[in-house]
Amino acid sequence: MDEASYIYNKTIASFNDIFYNGIMKSLAIVGLQFGDEGKGKLTDTFAKEFDVVIRYQGGNNAGHTVYANGKKYVLHLLPSGIIHTHTINVMGNGMVIDLEALEKELEPFDVKQVRISNRAHLITPLHRFLDQQAENQAPQKIGTTLKGIGPAYQLKAIRLGIRMGSLFHLDRFKSELKQLYAHYGFKEDSEAYVNRLTPFIQRILPSIIDVGSFLEEAKEKGQSMLFEGAQGMMLDLDHGTYPFVTSSHPSPTSAAIDLGISQGWISRTLGVVKAYTTRVGEGPFPTEYVDRVSQSIRERAHEYGATTGRPRRIGHLDLVMLKHAVRVAGVTELAVTLFDILSGVEPLKICTHYRLDDKDIVTIPGHAEDLQQVVPVYLSFSSWNQDISMVRTYEALPDAAKAYLGFIESTLKRPIRYISVGPQREQLIEVNHD
Ligand code: IMP
């Protein structure tokens, strides 16, 4: 049996185990490119089948757009399960949390549905200020979301961070904050900040817990768990296009540390791949192109950042990056999103490898400058013109569309299980591999 068939059969077997043989049902969903792969819709689609939905990293730099019950929800901090009232939504210690952003986002929802790690770090106005300052002064602009994400992880690593657990003793929290502001010469009134937030802090206190123990109990009760990665693998602090990355690890392989659970709890990892590539912010992007076609993709797919509104850069699909991401994230199966957008796109190309210094390379160079210089090598595909947004079965897709998908599947050696052909929940093709 070749490697592709082996992995494929293994995935099917584990799927059957999980759903039919009663092994704890757990699934991680992770974006394999630069974020904005449309994970929100998939997480939302799956969330209704799970008891607990968990975010393990990042903060309100994320933007998950979900269309449900005739409404559009843009979630930044809360796990996407929040829309389903039967779910408990967990925010792990690997997250960085801005109380002001959380207050606003929680407004339409019931706080009883939420659990927040007492070890998650706080983002305050100081962190946002430091983010802006770093962008103004750094030798190279990263194009961050300016939400204070990087400084929150930075202060955590240099052991100056303040954690959610501090909120249990407001006097202590006030003095910690005052000291931190003084340390950075930050002139805002920290006491007034805490006073303004006090009613909200009182509201969320019962939800601030030891998340690892909570999840262990949930596991013992046989509850199912959905792990939701934010951003995307190419923005991973270690495995992305450093330094043009975020400051956490979107990879579900980091969920154990970011939640305080054991490795091995995640039995399936669904890697979400946008049918082409987008990136918001600075940094190398080998397959980027700027012309009428990319412009039309941006407008048709409304490729503007959900958090910052910035226009997203557009590029061809890049299998070098995807192969890297599949390995690092431990992906067992794939979902392809925004596939309807490719109808009529011509030329339609997929990058199979790079050329650097007259050599073919199939891995991502470790230095951003080298990645900036690679020349992508493409394979061309026939395009199709039919609108596929109403298609609900794999069989009904045009042959050219199947060829495009088939190439992704065979190169990445993982089965494509879902194809999203529009923003609505029902615009999803489930591919039957049985
Ligand atoms: P930060 O996470 O705000 O520090 O930004 C670092 C980089 O990650 C910037 O290029 C951001 O545009 C990008 N980024 C952060 N979060 C997201 C996301 O959820 N989707 C897409 N890009 C993101």
Ligand 1 proximity of 33 Cβ (cutoff 6 Å): no
Ligand 1 proximity of 235 Cβ (cutoff 6 Å): yes
Collapse the DSSP code of 416 into the 3-class scheme (helix H, G, I; strand E, B; otherwise coil) and give the result: strand
pTM of the model: 0.93
> CB of 81 within 8 A of CB of 87?
yes
- Cα distance between residue 114 and residue 118, in whole Å: 13
> CB of 71 within 8 A of CB of 273?
no
| Per-residue model confidence (pLDDT) at position 24 | 65
- Cα distance between residue 214 and residue 219, in whole Å: 9
CA of 421 to the centre of ligand 1 (A): 25
**Identity (one letter) of the amino acid at 114?**
V
- What does the pLDDT look like over 262-295, one tens digit per residue? 989 999 999 999 999 999 989 999 999 999 999 9
Ligand 1 proximity of 149 Cβ (cutoff 6 Å): yes
Ligand 1 atom 19, closest CA: 62
Ligand 1 proximity of 331 Cβ (cutoff 6 Å): no
CA of 61 to the centre of ligand 1 (A): 6
**Of residues 44, 64, 98, 258, which has the active-site annotation?**
64
Ligand 1 proximity of 143 Cβ (cutoff 6 Å): yes
Residue 375 burial (CB < 10 Å; 0-12/13-18/19+)?
exposed
> CB of 371 within 8 A of CB of 241?
yes
Q: Is 318 known to be catalytic?
A: no
- What does the pLDDT look like over 392-419, one tens digit per residue? 999 999 999 999 999 999 999 999 999 9
Helix and strand numbers (H, E) in the chain are 13, 20
Whether 22 shows a pLDDT value over 70: the answer reads: no
The three-point CA angle 241-117-112 to 5° equals 120
CA of 7 to the centre of ligand 1 (A): 32
CA of 149 to the centre of ligand 1 (A): 9
- Cα distance between residue 194 and residue 334, in whole Å: 44
- What does the pLDDT look like over 197-211, one tens digit per residue? 999 999 999 999 999
Least confident range of 52-66, 174-188, 206-220, 356-370 = 52-66
